[in-house]
Amino acid sequence: MVKRRPAAARHRARPPAANDLFRGVGTEDALDQRIDGRPENRSPTACHANNMPNLFDIVTKRLLEAWRSDEAGDRRQGYRCRCGRPVYFLNSVCLACGAELGFQPELREVHALEPVANGDRRRLDDPALDDREWRRCANLATAAGCNWLVAAEETTPFCISCRLNRTIPDLTDPENGELWRKIENAKRRVVAQLLRLGLPVKSKVNEDVEHGIMFDFLRSPPGAPRVLTGHDQGLITLNVEEADDPTREQIRKEMREPYRTLLGHFRHEIGHYYWDRLIAETAWLDKFRELFGDEREDYAAALQRNYEQGPPPDWPDRHITSYASVHPWEDWAETWAHYLHVVDSLDTALRFGLRGEDVEAAVEPFSIDDLYDPAADDAQQVILLVNSWLQLTTVLNELARSMGQHDFYPFVMSRPVLRKMHFIQMVVKDARENSADRARAAPPAAATAAASG
Ligand SMILES: [Zn+2]
Ligand SMILES: [Zn+2]
Ligand SMILES: [Zn+2]
């Protein structure tokens, strides 16, 4: 819940730069209501899942608190060990006090753990928060070093993220272990974000063979064609070479890309998967075509044209990257990846206490009329998010240049791209709310019908 301050104090607290962020945003009280996610008319019987804060709501709520806060204290909201030291998403042990740490996938947070009397069971050290028993993921002991927890009653030894793997690299080759570790670190970050956004994440290997996700991490065999990174009906293939920094940098240069990372690959490929799940054969398809173009355009011919002629010169007016101009499917996947980049990076910035006053920069903010649907319920949140992102990245790019590094965010977000990002936000929100509806539906048959409708 946003702590309400007297209106005068709020206005005084907000710096001039922040004022611009609210251009066209409407009354602050209306914004409070929206971001608290508790509209007056919500039924008291509404399913718990529907009220669970999702990543988008958490980030925009924190943004609002950060822009408004005039207190210097208690700004750091990163994960903390029981000893008080900050801990990070990938930590499995506290470096200060030696406590075991684990990522609890339902709370989606790293917590200190206590051993339960015997064997491999663990509990969070805060039983008021969660008093169930957990095991560590079997991949903690492997090169992947996975710090996630598996509910004690589950039959699989692997966590939600690791059970998505169908093929991992051959670990008898010592080099593969190091590459695989980088791959799993990036993958867990993406999976955690998908869970926090309330999106479905089930393993195609053993949980949902028809609609799930699975990964093949492959090396190109000597003398054979190169393994291609891509997506096909829930199977995401990643060429393990992409985890090798010099190799990936070489490819980035050849492809003239400003940005190429493992995280970016995962976010892009999973975007194709969610297009199949959330757009194909849904009510969103016609709207998708209006905004991104007709995906029935010959895909192979589009790739060939891009290979021979390069992107159209005016691609920055319509797309976030030049590759997005190849085909509507690639435009969707690139824009989807950007949506995930923005929400995750802002979330991290806010966890570490970066706030409005720290980030004054001359940027021309977007207004609500620039959105895909200015009348959408969450239009105010989206504008707050995007304008905060523009300010933050302006500063981070300057910081990177001060260190002689590549820009932190080497992209320009045009108005058409903002419209596409807002469309994606609406699709994600719809998916989350529909899955909560399905969870409420009593007979399994009804849930199945809704899922395929
Ligand atoms: Zn500690
Ligand atoms: Zn795991
Ligand atoms: Zn793609």
Tens-place pLDDT, residues 190-199: 999 999 999 9
Could you tell me the distance, in angstroms and rounded to a whole number, from the CA of residue 425 to the centre of ligand 1? 37
Per-residue confidence at 51, pLDDT binned at 50, 70, 90? low
Q: Distance from the CA of 167 to the center of ligand 2, in angstroms?
A: 14
Identify whether the C-beta of residue 122 lies closer than 8 Å to the C-beta of residue 135.
yes
Query: Considering every ligand atom, which ligand is closest to the CA of 161?
Result: 2
> Is 34's pLDDT higher than 70?
no
- State in Å, rounded, how far the first CA of the chain is from the last one: 35
Q: Any idea which ligand is nearest the CA of 302? A: 3
Look at residue 193 in the predicted model and tell me its pLDDT: 95
Token representation of residue 93: 């042990």
Question: What are the residues whose beta carbon lies below 5 Å from ligand 3 (ion)?
Answer: 330, 333
- Which tens digits make up the pLDDT trace of 261-271? 999 999 999 99
**Regarding predicted confidence, which is higher, 296 or 70?**
296
Q: HSE-up of 58 (CA within 13 Å, CB side)?
A: 20
Of 256, 258, 229, 257, whose CA–CA distance to 242 is shortest?
A: 229
Mean of pLDDT over the chain = 83
**Triad 303, 304, 308: Cα angle to 5°:** 120
- DSSP 3-state assignment of 389? helix
- Residue 404 has which token pair? 């002689």
Q: How far is the CA of 126 from the centre of ligand 1 (A)?
A: 14
Give me the pLDDT at residue 276, please. 97
In angstroms, what is the span from residue 390 Cα to ligand 3's centroid?
A: 25
Of the listed ligands, the closest to the CA of 306 is 3
Using alpha carbons only, what angle is made at residue 60 by residues 54 and 64, rounded to the nearest 5 degrees?
Answer: 140
Q: How many A from CA of 99 to the centre of ligand 1?
A: 5
Q: Contacts from 377-380 at CB under 8 Å and sequence distance 24+?
A: 377/34, 378/34, 378/56, 378/425, 378/426, 378/429, 379/422, 380/25, 380/26, 380/30, 380/31, 380/34
Q: Point out which residues pair with 203 in neighbouring strands.
A: 213
Ligand nearest to the CA of 264: 3
Q: In sequence order, what are the beta bridge partners of 104?
A: 109
Ligand 1 centroid from CA 141, angstroms: 21
Give the whole-angstrom CA distance, residue 58 versus residue 35: 8
Phi then psi dihedrals of residue 409, to 5 deg: -130, 90
pLDDT tens digit sequence for 59-89: 777 766 765 544 443 444 568 899 999 898 9
Task: Give the ligand at the shortest distance from the Cα of 140.
Answer: 2
pLDDT for the residue numbered 58? 77
Q: Which residues contact 429 (CB under 8 A, 6 or more apart)?
A: 56, 378
Question: Ligand 2: distance of its center to the CA of 150 in Å?
Answer: 8
Residues 356/66, Cβ–Cβ less than 8 Å: yes
pLDDT at residue 15, as a whole number: 34
Residue 22 in this model has a pLDDT that exceeds 60: no
pLDDT of res. 348: 83
**Orientation of helix 328-351 relative to helix 379-402, angle to 10°:** 80
Residues around ion ligand 2, judged by CB within 5 A, are 137, 139, 146, 148, 159, 162
Q: In what order do the strands lie in the sheet with 214-218?
A: 165-167, 214-218, 235-239, 230-232
What is the token pair recorded at 304? 């060939």
Ligand nearest to the CA of 336: 3
Look at residues 420, 401, 399 and name the one whose alpha carbon lies nearest to residue 337. Answer: 420
Segment 147-186, tens digit of pLDDT: 999 999 999 999 999 999 999 999 999 899 999 999 999 9
Q: How far is the CA of 77 from the centre of ligand 3 (A)?
A: 35
Supply angle C-alpha 288, 344, 38, rounded to 5: 75
Q: What DSSP letter does each residue of 327-352 carry, written as one string?
A: -HHHHHHHHHHHHHHHHHHHHHHHHT
Higher pLDDT, 145 or 53: 145
- Kindly give the distance from the C-alpha atom of residue 165 to the centroid of ligand 2, in angstroms, as a whole number: 10
Ligand nearest to the CA of 265: 3
Ligand nearest to the CA of 97: 1
pLDDT tens digits, 207-265: 999 999 999 999 998 899 999 999 999 999 999 999 999 999 999 999 889 899 999 99
3-state secondary structure 38-90: CCCCCCCCCCHHHHCCCHHHHHHHHHHHHHHCCCCCCCCCCCECCCCCECCCC
- Tokens 């339902």 sit on residue: 106
What separation in Å is there between the alpha carbon of 98 and the centre of ligand 1?
A: 6
